[in-house]
Amino acid sequence: MAKKTIDHAFMAPSLTSAASDPTHAGVLSFMRRRYSKNLEGASTVVWGIPFDAATSNRPGARFGPQAIRRASAIFDNDPQYPFARDLFDSMPTIDYGDCLLDYGNHWQTPETIEQEARKIIANSDYLLTLGGDHFITWPLLKAHVAKHGPLALVQFDAHQDTWFDDGKRIDHGSFVVRAVRDGLIDPDRSIQIGIRTHAPEDCGIKILYGYELEDMRAADIASLIVRHTGGLPTYLTFDIDCLDPAFAPGTGTPVAGGPSSAKILSVLRGLGQLDIRGSDVVEVAPAYDHADITAIAGATVAMYMLGLRAERLARST
């Protein structure tokens, strides 16, 4: 026990150091990364946005960042499967905590998220955001595009999120149509995976429906995604309801007929060739969860996003 430590989220000697907290104890930052509002020296930032006022069905995703952080304690700093590496050894990473939002003035929410995201992105190389409902992807896209220019959108979701939007709505079901209309994403290079509903608009975005995934190998899905984005800088957004409710019951708008967590994680593992500039995991609502099934899935998706980033950095050195 002499070399063991606890509360690595506060006591980490560096932004790359491994934690040794017991899985059942210690401060619950994402994967035990140091909590800090100081961006100096951090190449990668994890940030929570506890917002769910845009939901059309069951609320509760405001508790998503807490649940995902709690579930991430299971990643106990062994080499992370399937990347076979310490993700943070050459990728200094902090947990920036959560975005402070005024629950009584939702009209201020998009600007608050965007401005804070711009600050983080300007002083780091990569932002992974934990939601929150899917509305948060709209201001996050604005912040990323301000730095990187228009992006391809790779969206794992049961819903297209292309419903009517007047430019003023606070709605988790319309961020995509707004992003296309305002030129934030290139619809010809964007793709939605796992869709199991119909919306009035497809905005020219390629759709892989849930039933199509059933007939495809994970490697073929990943290859299609990489080919379709065509090398364009990409934003990766993962709505946890992409997964079948058997694998993610804790979400606001579950839809039956989705893929397993194993299959979609295999798809994510195959996305190493994507030029991912930012990412998020949204719509984890722990009040409807069972035994942390959904939170574990969300934390694992987030870990894979960081794993892809760590591998890309390793290839570039």
pLDDT tens-digit series, residues 187-199: 999 999 999 999 9
Residue 20 lies in a domain: yes
What single letter denotes the amino acid at residue 99?
C
Residue 26 lies in a domain: yes
pLDDT in tens, 211-244: 999 999 999 999 999 999 999 999 999 999 999 9
Residue 267 lies in a domain: yes
Identify the sign of the CA torsion 235, 62, 96, 247. Answer: negative
* Mean pLDDT, residues 13-23 taken together: 91
Residue 1 lies in a domain: no
Residue 2 lies in a domain: no
Q: What's this model's pTM, rounded to 2 decimal places?
A: 0.96
Structure tokens at 68: 């995902």
Identify the sign of the CA torsion 240, 127, 92, 9. Answer: negative
What's the structural domain count of the chain? 1
CATH of residue 149's domain is 3.40.800.10
DSSP of 269-286, one letter per residue? HT-TTS-EEEEEEE---G
pLDDT in tens, 100-135: 999 999 999 999 999 999 999 999 999 999 999 999
Residue 30 lies in a domain: yes
Q: pLDDT band for position 166 (50/70/90)?
A: confident
**Alpha-carbon distances, residue 72 vs 42, 64, 130 (angstroms):** 20, 12, 12
The domain in which residue 282 lies consists of 8-316
pLDDT in tens, 262-273: 999 999 999 999
Residue 129 lies in a domain: yes
Residue 291 lies in a domain: yes
